[in-house]
Amino acid sequence: MTKRKAAATKRSVSTATARATTVAPTPPSGGFDLKLLRDLARIANEYDLESIELTPDGGICISRVPAASARMFAAPASSPASLSLVPLGAATIAKAEPVKVADDSVVITSPFVGTFYRASGPDSPVFVEVGQSIRNGQVVCIVEAMKLMNEIEAEADGKLIEILVKNGEHVEYGQPLFRLEKQ
Amino acid sequence: MGIKTVAVHSTADADALHVRRADEKICIGPPPSRQSYNSIPALISAAEVTHADAIHPGYGFLSENAEFADVVQKCGLTWIGPQPSVIRMMGDKVMARNTMAAAGVPILPGTGVLKSDEEAEEAVDRIGLPVIIKAVGGGGGRGMKIVKERKQLSSQLAAARSEAQAGFSNPTVYIERYVDRPRHIEVQVLGDGEHAMALGERECSIQRRHQKLVEEAPSVALDDKIRSELLKVAKKATAALKYKTVGTLEFLLDEKKRFYFMEMNTRIQVEHTVTEEVFGVDLVRTQIELAAGQPLRLRDNLKPRGHSIELRINAEDPDTFAPSPGLITGLRMPGGLGVRIDTHIYQGYRVPSYYDSLLAKLIVHADTRALAINRLRRCLDEFEVEGCKTNVAFYKRLLAHPDFVAGRIDTHFLERM
């Protein structure tokens, strides 16, 4: 997994994926700067970088792995020095954020793909606020789909502790909208 | 093409390869198709929130649903397919027969929508046995009953009607002469509303329960004279429909090498790939260009080069054909000259149990059919899937069968194998 590249005008470090290469920069003295190498590799890993290039004139050039492929290639089990990648997630509309659900909290998810609204109209009061007690069957928001305003009801009792989407945001099926603390 | 894509998916397909590769993705519903892939409101809503300009319906699901095509167009989106009126017309199998007959396309002796059992009896007198009873609203091999003896007619009619009602919410049926050992020959057609063209034929005779398994281009059953006549007829029919984008006309070839129109598929097909290989034409790209209103630009005298064969690699037991979903823990696929694999699977992918068992299309191209078969055999040896069963072993047996190698095939081949 660690290869030394032939002499080049640039010194570069690449992240470990299936194409892992880490090149030891060659300082003028001819020895290894191992600390620099470790720091560069850590930075590359932390920010999911495909490569860091240090140019001879002292500049730095970085490039990033596209999120989709970063998530796909699991580090091969047979390669002990492999670094694990932290997927940063693609910037998509209505991406469902994985929400950690504590034992006593419940998440209300969207049953449609559409647009989320906190009130029935621009001048109307919002249906619910953080801190409010919510009852099973109570309307908590609207998801508009194809010009139809669908009222979304809570399916449990609880205290609203978090609103997970913004007013007017597009939501997909199954996207978490509210977090309730069970009472 | 510089066009951004949005992949719609159910929760079961969140990790599908095309979802990862698309520019954007949006979850439209739970696994059952009725609430996701077949849900017109969910699909239109997804198009709205992502500000899509067009919808590509693929194949299966709502790809031949005229109502969906209508809604898409009414919502100001481009439908990547033919006009809804043509989809509707070809979706009614009796209307399709009549339309094609009027356009000079040979059809099997048969009836219109049967209004009574007496009419069925008269038809059998006229056409002769055996006959096949088909659902007017059916297609794709579903809702068909064969009558070999007169005394079966009445019970088979009743069975066909109730299956048609259950399967297509339309109990009407019609009758056609039944061809005993037909070959399934289909023609790829294209049109821009004014001009039409026929881009060669494919043979899809190797089927199991009317599901195609092996498709090839060109067909070794046709000589130049028959091929020329077939393509001419298909082009004429497509032009008569003022057809837009791509489609396929399916024919039966009987033992005397006469061809008869069966049905028209008003969408891109799974096996469009083998036509792409022998003609070097990107059919999906062309389909999108035609939907965008561009004129048909392909030269009329394109000739196919070599031979291409596609195998549908399914997640199923190679002996019982029972579906075999599961987590793909190992995957190694062949490559090299003349080898193409269209697939959505990858190592670590979990094949869901909700949908079709197709895992990959293994497509080869070579100078001759014999060379293509050799290449395919090598590919099958190199196609390794761990975690779910596949029908690779079944194809190895098929490609070793002397009749298959000799091209002596028909739609009942697998029943006899």
Question: A85, A88, A172: best mutation site toward chain B, by most B Cβ within 10 Å?
Answer: A172
Position A99 in a domain: no
Structure tokens at B339: 């080898």
What does the mean pLDDT of chain B come to? 95
**What is the spatial distance between Cα B313 and Cα B369, in angstroms, rounded to a whole number?**
20
For residue B149, the domain's CATH number is: 3.30.1490.20
Position B334 in a domain: yes
Q: Are residues B285 and B386 in the same domain?
A: yes
Q: Is B350 a catalytic residue?
A: no
**A89 falls in which pLDDT band (50, 70, 90)?**
very low
Position B93 in a domain: no
B29 touches chain A (CB under 8 A): yes
- Please tell me the number of Cα atoms within 13 Å of A176 on its side-chain side: 15
Look up the ipTM and state it: 0.76
Q: Are residues A68 and A37 in the same domain?
A: yes
What residue type is A132 in one-letter code?
Answer: Q
**What is the spatial distance between Cα B98 and Cα B92, in angstroms, rounded to a whole number?**
10
Q: Are residues B199 and B147 in the same domain?
A: no
> Mean pLDDT over residues B22-42, rounded?
96
**Does B49 contact A175 at a Cβ distance shorter than 8 Å?**
no
From chain B, pick out residues whose CB is under 8 angstroms from the CB of A174. Answer: 11, 27, 30
C-alpha distances in angstroms, A47 versus A43, A75, B89?
6, 17, 56
- Which residue of A lies nearest to B48 if distances are taken between CA atoms? A146
From chain A, pick out residues whose CB is under 8 angstroms from the CB of B11. Answer: 173-174
Q: Name the residue among A92, A114, A173 with its Cβ closest to that of B24.
A: A92
**B289 falls in which pLDDT band (50, 70, 90)?**
very high
Cβ neighbours of residue B136 under 8 Å, at least 6 residues apart? B92, B93, B94, B113, B164, B170, B172, B173, B174
Count of the separate structural domains present in chain B: 3
- Which residue of A lies nearest to B346 if distances are taken between CA atoms? A72
From chain B, pick out residues whose CB is under 8 angstroms from the CB of A18. Answer: none
Q: Which one from B97, B267, B312, B375 is the annotated catalytic residue?
A: B267
**What is the spatial distance between Cα B15 and Cα B36, in angstroms, rounded to a whole number?**
16
Count of the separate structural domains present in chain A: 2
Q: Are residues B195 and B167 in the same domain?
A: no
Q: Residue B128: is its pLDDT beyond 80?
A: yes
How many percent of chain A have pLDDT more than 70?
A: 61
Is residue B86 within a helix (H) or strand (E), and if so which, with residue range?
helix B84-91
Position A96 in a domain: no
Which DSSP symbol is given to B336?
A: S
Quote the pLDDT of residue A82. Answer: 33
Q: Are residues B226 and B168 in the same domain?
A: no
**What is the spatial distance between Cα B103 and Cα A167, in angstroms, rounded to a whole number?**
56
Q: Name the residue among A72, A114, A174 with its Cβ closest to that of B49.
A: A114
For residue A138, the domain's CATH number is: 2.40.50.100
Q: Are residues A1 and A83 in the same domain?
A: yes
Q: Which of the listed residues B124, B157, B177 is the one where a domain comes to its end?
A: B177
Q: Residue A61: is its pLDDT beyond 60?
A: yes
Comparison of pLDDT for B84 and A5, the residue scoring more: B84
Position A57 in a domain: yes
